[in-house]
Amino acid sequence: MAFANRGGSTWQLKTRSLTLGVRTRVMGILNVTPDSFSDGGLHLDPANAIQHGLSLLADGADILDIGGESTRPGQSPSETPATEQARVLPVLAGILEVQPSAILSIDTYHAETAIAAVQAGAEIVNDVSGFEWDDAMAAACARLACGVVLMHTRGRPGEWKHLPNLPQQEVLPLVRKGLGKRLQHAQDAGVARSRILLDPGFGFGKAFEANYPLFAGLEALRSIGQPLLAGVSRKSFLGRTLSDLYGGSDAPIQARANASLAAMVAAILGGADVVRVHEVKSAVEAARIADAVLAAVPA
């Protein structure tokens, strides 16, 4: 069985850098929203969110990804940047007050929020639209000179249920072409390649079984020339795959932890440099084993 050779690279952030390739970097998810698909409302209170973020860091997260607007399937994005900032900025400030060395990422497609968060201490902008949903975002990130994650998405969350199904053989070429375009757009705006990670966008406009070719094709996505981030934690396609074990219904969100770990390890062995997860401690341990496997791959 062939495993990835991730090589080594350096991800330039706002004020520091992260080495990639030798050890998988774990990004902990901190949703400060009332309606995210798996944890909406759990961390809407700033004090609760700060404590949860600090717990994720204590469990071994290399990065915290803080988001103030849900992009769950069926959701039509509607939050204003002001509402989003009111949710995330107090949490960002509170975490940095306790742990100034923490590497924080802002999960947003709003340029206004990206600017406010980076000015408040975030090192990374994680844009699920790959700079598509706000025309000002690419130039803003170039000026901010921060780390960037560009995700591939097909349509918007409110459209996903109505998109035509993708034949499996079309998934990888579509995502590869789309990520290449987003990378070129970012570079044309002045974002340095050393600051950019690419994310194939598991579940973002790819329904259920259409996600599995992405695992099998991560090597082809790496050939674009950028490190990769994979976010598969608790995704609905995992619940669908387990449905025969749950009486024909999709496995509920709270029953997807093992599947999330299995999918995460598959992504690492396929070449993902960073993984985005809800349960950090188990992810750190599983990633350590996957990294040991990759370390045994002949150069």
Q: What is the pLDDT of residue 260?
A: 98
Residues 236-280 have pLDDT tens digits of 999 999 999 999 999 999 999 999 999 999 999 999 999 999 999
Query: Catalytic residue numbers?
Result: 235, 276
* Structure-model confidence comparison of residues 42 and 180, the more confident one: 180
As given in the structure block, the two tokens for residue 268 are 């690492």
9-295 belongs to which CATH class? alpha beta
> 182 Cβ partners below 8 Å, 6+ apart?
130, 131, 132, 150, 152, 198
Percentage, residues of the chain above pLDDT 70 = 94
Backbone angles phi, psi at 208, to 5 degrees: 45, -110
Q: Which of 84, 2, 19 is nearest to 269 (CA)?
A: 2
146 pLDDT more than 50: yes
Q: What is the pLDDT of residue 143?
A: 98
Compute the distance between CA of residue 185 and CA of residue 176 in angstroms, rounded to an integer: 14
Compute the distance between CA of residue 53 and CA of residue 25 in angstroms, rounded to an integer: 16
Residues 78-109 have pLDDT tens digits of 678 999 999 999 999 999 999 999 999 999 99
Q: How far apart are the first and last CA of the chain?
A: 15
- For all residues of the chain together, what is the average pLDDT? 93
Compute the distance between CA of residue 167 and CA of residue 182 in angstroms, rounded to an integer: 23
Residue with token string 């997260």: 61
* Least confident piece of the model among 35-39, 79-83, 124-128, 186-190: 35-39
186 pLDDT more than 90: yes
Residues 11-48 have pLDDT tens digits of 999 999 999 999 999 999 999 987 545 544 566 689 99
Q: What is the 3-state secondary structure (H, E, C) of 94-136?
A: HHHHHCCCCCEEEECCCHHHHHHHHHCCCCEEEECCCCCCCCC
Neighbours of 165 (CB within 10 A): 11
Q: What is the pLDDT of residue 40?
A: 45
Compute the distance between CA of residue 105 and CA of residue 218 in angstroms, rounded to an integer: 23
As given in the structure block, the two tokens for residue 85 are 């900032």
pTM over 0.75? The answer is yes
* Structure-model confidence comparison of residues 259 and 207, the more confident one: 259
102 near 96, Cβ under 8 Å?
A: yes
